[in-house]
Amino acid sequence: MPFQHLLNPFLLRSRLYIFWISFVIWPILAGAQVQDHIPHTQFSGIEQGLSHRDVHCIHQDNQGFIWIGTLNGLNRFDGYQFKVFTKEADGLQSNTINHIIGDGQGLMWLFNTTNQLFETPSSIDIFNPSTEEVLSFEEKFGKSAPFSLSDIFSFAATGDGCIVFSTIKNKLVIYTPRKGFEVRKLSVNSFIVQCLSAHQTIWGYIYNKRTNIREEIVEIDFKGNILYRFKPQYPIQNIFIAGVDPSDNLWFIIKRDSEKSPHISEGELFRITGRQEPAKIIFNKKNAPINALNLNSVGVGGRFQCWINPLRGSLYLFSGESFQVFHPEKGWYNELGPANKYLAMTNTVFFDRRGQAWIGTEFGVYHIEIVPRPFRQILHDEK
């Protein structure tokens, strides 16, 4: 009888004592040192069936499947196992997939790009996740496309499948399956599309080719007109947009040279609400441990390394040595790095329709859900 030992009174009491010490007594004694939220993590690498360990992009299709782009093929994850699609077996143009975005028909656009700052693709495949059929961009659109792949400067997509491109010729191109491609003239030069707001506007950067710096944050409408722009005072190293939160506020980090040492850079977190002047977020013990949160390493090497959960409002920071998650409004903080060593090699973060995070790293993919500590929540509620 395999479960009979669980009914032993002495063992049962021992387990209850351990339970109360671990989850009730210790959190009370430890106070602020205990994290109010705990991460549930699942890691998948090549041992679990992933086609390549280096994960560059993640997408969720209309049926709920998770798709993962790697340096050696496309992977579909059904919650239990991976199915791999490759150039050799399935007709993709390339096994390198750096970006996946979905259009309004549920088709997946697979981008092979080589530059981390500019997103000029060497190939685009249009993949049907239901039929598993694939067409190249040229086969799908022919001469109806208003640009060549080499003209693309940046791109992003809305939640309902509208795809937005900026081009090196300062054009804004909007694609929907119903209307096809619509071309607008941009009123700014060197515009990098970063993300789209809930009220159908586009947030991005103005890139200075001479200094190699994203020096302004700009909001434009779908006609290419400027709605808002913010240019921080020099000197700055760069700007990193994290995204928009559930209230449609934009969050971003500015990196500056430290006044203490020219060899140290310092990061500052800002929020833009209602096109007002950006508000700098000042940290205190209510929203994050002051000495623990690391904004200074964000963007080392020019990589995009901060993301905000659009459904839950929590901010994800890759600090170069660790991975931190905190909620600047609700005041909880969690350090993911020590228990999940590969998070220090993060390439991308994707949030699914339940608000759970999928983190692509150089060694595989993490599925992470951060939930309130049950008994800590009860104590807070009682207060």
The tens-digit pLDDT sequence of the chain (383 residues) is 333 333 344 334 444 444 443 444 444 434 444 456 788 899 999 999 999 999 999 999 999 999 999 999 999 999 999 999 999 999 999 999 999 999 999 999 999 997 655 678 999 999 999 999 999 999 999 999 999 999 999 999 988 889 999 999 999 999 999 999 999 999 999 999 999 998 889 999 999 988 888 999 999 999 999 999 999 987 788 898 999 999 999 999 988 876 666 666 678 889 999 999 999 987 665 555 555 566 765 554 445 478 999 999 998 887 666 678 888 888 777 877 666 777 768 889 999 999 999 999 999 999 999 888 765 544 444 44
Q: Which of 237, 247, 241, 246 has its CA nearest to residue 219? A: 241
- Tokens 């310092």 — which residue? 266
Cβ count within 10 A of residue 90: 15
The angle subtended at Cα 314 by Cα 311 and Cα 316, nearest 5°, is 120
Contact 69, 110 (CB under 8 A): yes
Q: Helix (H, G, I), strand (E, B), or coil: what is residue 383? A: coil
* pTM summary value: 0.85
Rg for the chain (alpha carbons), in Å? 23
